[in-house]
A and B are shown apart, each in its own frame.
Chain A
Amino acid sequence: MKTTLILSTALAGMAFAATAQEVNVVSWGGAYEVSQVEAYNKPFAEQTGIKVNMIAADNPATPLKAQVEAGNITGDVFDIEVSDAIRLCDEGALVEIDPADLPPAPDGTPAAEDFIDGALQDCAVANIFWGTVIAYDTTKFEGNAPATAADFFDLEAFPGKRGLPKTPKRTLYLALIADGAAADEIYDLLGSEEGVERAFAKLDTIKNDVVWWEAGAQPVQLLADGEVTMATGYNGRFFDAMVGEGKPFAIIWDGQYMDLDMFAIPKDSPNPEAAMEYLKFATDTQRLADQAKYIAYGPARKSSAALVGLYQDGKTEMGPHMPTNPEYMTTAVMDDPEFWADHDAELTERFNSWLAGS
């Protein structure tokens, strides 16, 4: 019985290793996955003959960490947030990537200069920027539309429930911005006791009117149901609802929270060569620009910006919907992976304690 088990496992393992020329990519699913399939996977399979298997996860860092812990890596390329990329790299779980190996921009600029600051890490290469932004239901505020982060906290002028993510990372900064803090002093404030107190005090003013969400699709649903009148969420999802489905939403870009998604390759992945091929291919100038055709997330290369054109419907200009639009960048808060690596656990505990108390 046991020998059979071992034998069959070994055979299955051999069979798996024998099917070369494929690569397993773990990503976030939904509209985002569709954009990657269209922009990266299809042309990649056509040009190289390597088959791409897309695997969806709520957050690919979770299966990655679990696979590393278990010592059984089944994915080749993981699409993870920058904080997770740095953390897992520091823990020795990821393959180091030399920027010199990445393809240069079409005009010859080396990759190291072509990528936006922070988009190249020791073990990961960014593909897109995405923003957490406020969206509101335009039918609820006719004649007097909210325009700033402070309006999100103003229940008198803009009545109705609010949708917020149940995490300190994407709520505390918003409270501080709404309370008049500047985007570049957020992390100094959150690093101090007074700053954290100030953020929670501001959140207290709307606590009873908040509906907390956890999955990226929820804020869109809450707005569409009329359950909330304003919510923060991922800009690509709101874009999809507004342009793709014609929902009467509008986005407030003031005080958006910008984050990077990165491709990383774990050590001991089953197809390391194909994984590296895929990573290089998917982060070249044309591919990053192509992805913007399918979802409103900003490419991580400067040279891609010029190539970004129209949405797949052939009439919507993508520029005004991109979180990387220079106009929106002035008040944007950039994700600080070091800060969150240090303080996430502590602030999450405090946030949960604050939530649970009434």
Chain B
Amino acid sequence: MANALDPHAAIVTTASGAGDGMLTTADGKPLARALARSQSRARRRAFLLVLPLLAFVVVTFVVPIGQMLQRSFYNDGFSANMPQLSAWFDQNPRGTEPDDAAWEALAGDLVASAEVRSIGVVGTRINYDVPGTRSLFTSTGRKVRGGIEPPYREALLEMDEDWGSARLWNAMREAATPITANFYLASLDRRRAEDGSIEQVPERQRVYVMLFMRTFWLSLLITGLTFILGFPVAHLLATLPMRKSNLLMILVLLPFWTSLLVRTTSWMVLLQQQGVINDILVWLGVIENGQRLQMIYNQTGTIIAMTHILLPFMILPLYSVMRTINPSYVRAARSLGATSWTAFRRIYFPQTLPGLGAGALLVFILAVGYYITPALVGGSSGQLISNLIAEHMTGTLNWSMAAALAALLLASVLILYWLYDRLVGIDNLKLG
């Protein structure tokens, strides 16, 4: 069958493209068209073959993630349920004092929204920007459910004077358009000031930037540690005689196959203050009973447990690359007078780089998104950004915020991947 890689087909196409006389097939059709048709048929068939997988990936991966990421900049909780007031904001530019029409729109929307019980959604949306205002909406909603008499401004201010707050009206103006950058601002510890400019949140509320930094720093540290610990092991695995290296391989793979939770909880048993390691140290007399070491429920715990859990991801790519390195190169270097250190540094190590790159990238990217281990052994100082994403997913139920944080995390990983590609080259990656 003709396809794009068929050299003859290419020649024929070029010839017909050159225009000197139409080449035709045996039954008289122009060759170029027949070729194109048969090629597209082959392509269609290939496409049909991958369709199940494509559909699966789209349905279970692309669509949900797309929907989730959309929440980070799209939230119609206010605009969809307060249509009259949203329209008023559209017609009147920023800085316009709310007039009678605005108050009437607000009152009308509140009554309608309270009637269909969507007032909670509206209040929740505004509460993200102005904390403490959710109950303003829900309690006013309860009061106006039967209707409200004009003058609306006075009536609403009578119910709660907070309705006059400029900050609230600003937040409502922001929320009147469903597309917003506020969740990204909040993810970077920023918010909109009353005049619409961007400012940092008060110091005691800043947490996300610091957690992003910590996440990247700890991931880097863990990648480094897995390299230091994994390199010699991978070397041993690659150079020992088969029988011994197989045994060693099982020791590497066994924890890899064990449930993540089991491994994490066994670290708890080992590291806690009344745990095995502390008990042994006390028994040996290294430390007093009163000064047992705090090795878990803090950053140390996160680092130790994650390094152990991610170690196989470093060892396996390193091992597969090291096995293919011909030992005669190092021997040749030694026979030419290189010291063992020079031979390692100049000859052996550069050849392991593709495996090292793959391992480092794997460990780093896994570590950046790690959730369950820091949650269990991290205490307060060992928490990573993923723990706050989880908190917003299941605790505060602010999915827009979770989506914004996740999008930033995804973007920064992609940037790092791009950097890696520029510096090392993704083609140099070798998993086996």
Residues of chain A touching chain B, judged by Cβ–Cβ distance below 8 Å, are 1-2, 58-59, 61-62, 65, 69, 87-92, 161, 166-167, 191, 210-212, 214, 225-227, 338-339, 341-346, 348-350, 352-358
Residues of A with C-beta under 8 A to B379: 211-212
Residues of B with C-beta under 8 A to A58: 394
Q: Cα distance A339–B138 when bound, in Å?
A: 12
Residues of A with C-beta under 8 A to B141: 90
The one of B121, B204, B375, B395 that contacts A92, using a Cβ cutoff of 8 Å: B121
Q: Cα distance A312–B379 when bound, in Å?
A: 37
A356 close to B381 (CB less than 8 A): yes
A90 in contact with B138 given A211-B297, A227-B273 (CB within 8 Å):
yes
**Shortest Cβ gap from A199 to chain B (Å):** 12
Residues of B with C-beta under 8 A to A214: 375
The one of A59, A87, A90, A343 that contacts B132, using a Cβ cutoff of 8 Å: A343
A90 close to B123 (CB less than 8 A): yes
Q: Cα distance A61–B379 when bound, in Å?
A: 25
B116 close to A92 (CB less than 8 A): yes
**Shortest Cβ gap from B395 to chain A (Å):** 7
**Shortest Cβ gap from B28 to chain A (Å):** 37
Closest chain A residue, CB of each to CB of B128:
A345
Residues of A with C-beta under 8 A to B128: 345
B183 close to A (CB within 8 Å): no
Closest chain B residue, CB of each to CB of A61:
B397
**Shortest Cβ gap from B426 to chain A (Å):** 33
A89 close to B120 (CB less than 8 A): yes
B288 close to A (CB within 8 Å): no
Residues of A with C-beta under 8 A to B380: 166, 210, 212, 355-356
Closest chain A residue, CB of each to CB of B297:
A211
**Shortest Cβ gap from A318 to chain B (Å):** 32
Instruction: Please encode chain B, from 84 to 119, with 1 for each CB lying within 8 Å of some chain A CB and 0 for all others.
Output: 000000000000000000000000000000001111
Q: Cα distance A354–B273 when bound, in Å?
A: 24
**Shortest Cβ gap from A156 to chain B (Å):** 15
A90 close to B119 (CB less than 8 A): yes
Instruction: Please encode chain B, from 165 to 188, with 1 for each CB lying within 8 Å of some chain A CB and 0 for all others.
Output: 000000000000000000000000
Closest chain B residue, CB of each to CB of A354:
B204
Closest chain B residue, CB of each to CB of A344:
B396
Residues of B with C-beta under 8 A to A90: 117, 119-121, 123, 138, 141
The one of A92, A339, A345, A354 that contacts B396, using a Cβ cutoff of 8 Å: A345
B274 close to A (CB within 8 Å): yes
**Shortest Cβ gap from A68 to chain B (Å):** 10
11 contacts between A and B (CB under 8 A): A90-B121, A90-B123, A91-B117, A92-B116, A92-B120, A227-B272, A342-B127, A349-B207, A356-B210, A356-B381, A356-B383
A348 close to B391 (CB less than 8 A): yes
A349 in contact with B135 given A69-B399, A89-B117, A212-B379 (CB within 8 Å):
no
Instruction: Please encode chain B, from 403 to 415, with 1 for each CB lying within 8 Å of some chain A CB and 0 for all others.
Output: 0000000000000
B424 close to A (CB within 8 Å): no
Q: Cα distance A210–B297 when bound, in Å?
A: 9
Residues of A with C-beta under 8 A to B214: 356
Q: Cα distance A344–B134 when bound, in Å?
A: 11
Residues of A with C-beta under 8 A to B297: 211-212
Instruction: Please encode chain B, from 118 to 145, with 1 for each CB lying within 8 Å of some chain A CB and 0 for all others.
Output: 1111011001100111110011010000
Residues of A with C-beta under 8 A to B120: 87-92
Residues of A with C-beta under 8 A to B272: 225, 227
B355-414 interface (Cβ within 8 A of A): 375, 379-381, 383, 388, 391, 393-399
Residues of A with C-beta under 8 A to B123: 90, 341
Residues of A with C-beta under 8 A to B395: 167, 348
Residues of A with C-beta under 8 A to B119: 90
B131 close to A345 (CB less than 8 A): yes
A352 in contact with B134 given A87-B120, A90-B141 (CB within 8 Å):
no
B399 close to A341 (CB less than 8 A): no
A342 in contact with B394 given A212-B380, A353-B206 (CB within 8 Å):
no
B259 close to A (CB within 8 Å): no
B141-156 interface (Cβ within 8 A of A): 141
Interface centre among B123, B124, B394 (most CB of A within 10 A): B394
**Shortest Cβ gap from A114 to chain B (Å):** 24
A343 close to B131 (CB less than 8 A): yes
B51 close to A (CB within 8 Å): yes
B55 close to A (CB within 8 Å): yes
B134 close to A2 (CB less than 8 A): no
Closest chain A residue, CB of each to CB of B381:
A358
A355 in contact with B121 given A225-B272, A342-B131, A345-B127 (CB within 8 Å):
no
B396 close to A348 (CB less than 8 A): yes
Residues of B with C-beta under 8 A to A65: 397
Residues of A with C-beta under 8 A to B117: 89-92
Task: Identify the 9 closest CB pairs spanning chains A and B, nearest first.
Answer: A90-B120, A92-B117, A346-B131, A91-B120, A353-B207, A355-B380, A226-B274, A342-B132, A62-B394
B7 close to A (CB within 8 Å): no
Closest chain A residue, CB of each to CB of B380:
A355
B274 close to A227 (CB less than 8 A): yes
B285 close to A (CB within 8 Å): no
B52 close to A (CB within 8 Å): yes
**Shortest Cβ gap from B114 to chain A (Å):** 9
Q: Cα distance A280–B316 when bound, in Å?
A: 59
Residues of B with C-beta under 8 A to A227: 272-274
Residues of B with C-beta under 8 A to A61: 397
A161 in contact with B273 given A211-B297, A358-B381 (CB within 8 Å):
yes
B328 close to A (CB within 8 Å): no
Residues of B with C-beta under 8 A to A341: 123, 127, 134-135, 138
Q: Cα distance A155–B122 when bound, in Å?
A: 45
B383 close to A355 (CB less than 8 A): yes
Q: Cα distance A266–B292 when bound, in Å?
A: 51
A356 close to B124 (CB less than 8 A): no
Closest chain A residue, CB of each to CB of B136:
A342
Q: Cα distance A61–B396 when bound, in Å?
A: 11
Q: Cα distance A343–B135 when bound, in Å?
A: 10
Closest chain B residue, CB of each to CB of A228:
B273
B317-370 interface (Cβ within 8 A of A): none
Closest chain A residue, CB of each to CB of B186:
A349
Q: Cα distance A161–B292 when bound, in Å?
A: 12
A91 close to B210 (CB less than 8 A): no
Q: Cα distance A211–B118 when bound, in Å?
A: 40
